[in-house]
Amino acid sequence: MKYLLISAIAAGFLACGGEKKEIDTHAGHNHAKHETTQFAKSERLIYYTCPMDSHKHIHHREMGKCEECGMSLVAGVITTEEKMDFYGCPMLMHSHIRQETAGKCDECGMALKPMRLVK
């Protein structure tokens, strides 16, 4: 009986494609989030930020809108040097630290990583 139940659960999971959906349950609502941002498996998501350079200080852990201009936030990911747009601090709170050359973060001293914004 136990093996039958485990098999049924596994079959159901495989039938659904094994897709994991993140659920947002803020303020009593239950919204399934659909990740539309595409980045390579070798890349690592660090934060979401406004695509406007003047709003690079805006950073969030989840997708949403810029509170200053209303634009959709884009993913800031650590990537390879071939795909990078800038060197940036890998800390969420230091999303505004961006430069063209490798170095260290002025605020925390961490090594800057090759990063890009995924729109």
CA 66 to chain centre: 15
Classify residue 20: in a domain, yes or no.
no
Using CA atoms, how far apart are residues 10 and 49, in angstroms rounded to an integer?
A: 38
Whether pLDDT at 13 is above 90: no
Give 29's pLDDT tier (boundaries 50, 70, 90): very low
pLDDT band for position 12 (50/70/90)?
Answer: very low
Segments forming the whole domain that contains residue 108: 42-119
Quick check: is 109 in a domain?
Answer: yes
**Is residue 24 assigned to a domain?**
no
Q: With 80 as the cut, is the pLDDT of residue 7 above it?
A: no
- Number of structural domains the chain divides into: 1
In this structure, is the dihedral angle defined by the CA atoms of residues 45, 51, 53 and 56, taken in order, positive or negative?
A: negative
In a domain, 32, yes or no: no
* 21: in domain: no
Backbone angles phi, psi at 54, to 5 degrees: -70, -10
List beta partners, residue 44: 78
pLDDT digit string (tens) for 50-83? 999 999 999 999 999 999 999 999 999 999 999 9
CA distances from 111 to 4, 76, 98 (A): 52, 16, 12
Whether 105 has a pLDDT exceeding 70, the answer reads yes
Is the pTM above the cut of 0.75?
no
Q: Is residue 11 part of a domain?
A: no
